[in-house]
Amino acid sequence: MTIQQWIALGIFVPSYGLIISEKVNRTIASILGAVPVYVFVLGPKELLHYENWETILFVFGMMTVIETMNESGFFRWLGLHSAKFVKLDPLKLFILFPFIATFLSAFVDSITVMLFMSTLTIEVSAIIGINPLPLIYPETCANFGTCIEEWKPVFHRYRIQSSPCLF
């Protein structure tokens, strides 16, 4: 390993430790790790070269669309209709929401579907008064097939060794 790689590893491990320990806010821990990497490991040209601006701007745009839909009340409306359809039964919601996620993932990419579904699930769970996590987990699993397909180019781009049964 080169000196720069050792320095990057020496910055990465404490930063990740701060994130895992939750003693410091994740954003602050990330910035505390990113600034030394910028100063000691990467320069401005290398940083811009390795940054994937398409993904950052795409996720930013999707979050903007989701927040606009949230502010307009779309998720509350859809959540109330789906909760009314299953008569506020959490078990039926547990079954319905993964089907909605699977249906939507046929038309929209998986990141957008999960942003949409997690907002919808949190909204409905707040109305019913239940914990949203048990409902979000099966949505993620129902959407996992498209997640694999969308991340496939990323794995191959960075030459990450993968199992032939998954990719």
pLDDT tens figures, 6-65: 998 999 999 999 989 988 888 899 899 989 988 888 887 887 787 788 888 888 888 888
| Total-model pTM | 0.53
pLDDT in tens, 123-156: 888 888 999 988 888 888 877 655 555 555 544 4
Separation CA 119–CA 148 (nearest Å) = 22
- Please determine, for residue 113, whether its predicted confidence score (pLDDT) is greater than 80: no
Looking at 32-36, 43-47, 108-112, 114-118, which range is the least confident one? 108-112
Q: Are 86 and 92 in contact (CB under 8 A)?
A: yes
| DSSP-derived 3-state class of residue 158 | coil
pLDDT recorded at residue 160: 45
Query: Distance of CA 89 to CAs 12, 77, 95, Å?
Result: 45, 17, 10
CB atoms inside a 10 Å sphere around CB 121: 24
- Please determine, for residue 161, whether its predicted confidence score (pLDDT) is greater than 70: no
pLDDT recorded at residue 69: 82
The count of residues in the chain is 167
